[in-house]
DNA sequence: AAGAATGTTACATG
DNA sequence: ACATGTAACATTCT
């Protein structure tokens, strides 16, 4: 689940929990593939103080006073949970960071796709990622430059993290509905007006999803939860995602589902052009 | 019980 | 170099 709004929700939760300024007294990695060199990682991080917690694309960045940055990618089912350090360990908790105030940050991941990366140069690590759509210095001109010429379909382009950072399968579909554009449209066929609609839709969809605390699908263990273990509310706002054959909210036509680039893709064949 | 699931990457093919 | 397609990762849910 975790796309930009979910990752942003996690980061805001961590900030609210006042983890910045806390020192890490103990680290346990119980799933070795989580990070390149678990032993070196533990050695490196123990004793560090968290100096910042931010987001870039779908990465959570924990910056330490040592100058190193821990980048966490949740992939499909990863979660970061804040608990008391004596809380019983549950299944799928693959890493834990004990803080000097008696709490722990735990990494929970059913499918084990999530990864940690420790770097002394976060900028270099993140250099190839695409536009940050909600940044203060976001520029529509830059957006057009990146999207406008692409010969690929809009769906593929929106999912390409090197073009635009942070959209995933859910929000790509929602954005295209909001912009009234078919996922199959080639990006290079968009008029200036349509590019503007696309740009505005991305920002609106992301902003409102963040306001609602992200999207949580279903009730399983893989479901998105924020750092307090709470579900989001945005799943109730979907216009097309997982609404196959249900009536379009605007025109009542049945929502269609096709597969593009191995991902299920939902759209209204009447409203989207 | 087969198929799909929010993400990414590596590899192959055109 | 670009575009598309497939498999793989690991597990759970429908």
For position A148, what pLDDT does the model report? Answer: 83
For B7, nearest residue by CA–C1' is A75
Nucleotide closest to residue A153 (CA–C1'):
C3
For position A1, what pLDDT does the model report? Answer: 58
| Protein residues with Cβ atoms closer than 7 angstroms to any atom of nucleic acid strand B | A 1-3, 6, 57-58, 73, 75-77, 111, 113, 159, 161, 168-170, 215, 217-218, 220, 222-224, 262-264
Q: Which bases of chain C are under 7 A from a protein CB atom?
A: 2-14
Q: Is the distance between the Cβ of A33 and the closest atom of strand C smaller than 7 Å? A: yes
Q: Which two tokens stand for residue A125?
A: 């690590």
CA of A61 to C1' of B1 (A): 41
**Rounded Cα–Cα distance for residues A134 and A118 (Å):** 25
Q: Tens-digit pLDDT profile for chain A (273 aa)?
A: 599 999 999 999 999 999 999 999 999 999 999 999 999 999 999 999 999 999 999 999 999 999 999 999 999 999 999 999 999 999 999 999 999 999 999 999 999 999 999 999 999 999 999 999 999 999 999 999 999 889 999 999 999 999 999 999 999 999 999 999 999 999 999 999 999 999 999 999 999 999 999 999 877 888 899 999 999 999 999 999 999 999 999 999 999 999 998 899 999 999 999
| CA dihedral sign, ordered A16, A17, A21, A27 | negative
Q: Which bases of chain B are under 7 A from a protein CB atom?
A: 4-9
């Amino acid at each position: 689940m975790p796309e930009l709004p979910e990752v942003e929700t996690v980061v805001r939760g961590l900030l609210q929990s006042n983890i910045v300024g806390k020192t890490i007294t103990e680290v346990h990695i119980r799933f070795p593939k989580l990070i390149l060199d678990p032993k070196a990682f533990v050695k490196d991080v123990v004793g560090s103080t968290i100096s910042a917690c931010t987001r870039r694309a779908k990465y959570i960045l924990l910056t330490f006073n040592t100058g190193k940055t821990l980048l966490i990618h949740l992939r499909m089912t990863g979660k970061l949970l804040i608990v008391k350090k004596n809380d019983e360990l549950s299944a799928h908790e693959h890493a834990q960071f004990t803080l000097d105030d008696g709490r722990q940050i735990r990494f929970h991941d059913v499918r084990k796709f999530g990864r940690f990366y420790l770097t002394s140069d976060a900028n270099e690590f993140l250099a190839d990622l695409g536009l940050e759509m909600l940044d203060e210095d976001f520029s529509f001109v830059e957006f057009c430059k990146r999207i406008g010429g692409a010969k690929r379909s809009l769906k593929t382009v929106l999912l390409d993290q090197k073009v635009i950072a942070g959209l995933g399968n859910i929000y790509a579909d929602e954005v295209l509905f909001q912009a009234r554009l078919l996922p199959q449209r080639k990006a290079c066929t968009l008029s200036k007006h349509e590019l503007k609609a696309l740009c505005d839709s991305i920002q609106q969809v992301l902003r409102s999803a963040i306001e609602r605390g992200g999207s949580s699908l279903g009730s399983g263990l893989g479901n998105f939860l924020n750092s307090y273990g709470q579900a989001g509310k945005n799943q109730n706002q979907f216009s097309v995602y997982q609404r196959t054959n249900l009536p379009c909210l605007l025109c009542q036509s049945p929502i269609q589902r096709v597969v593009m680039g191995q991902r299920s893709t939902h759209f209204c064949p009447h409203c989207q052009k």
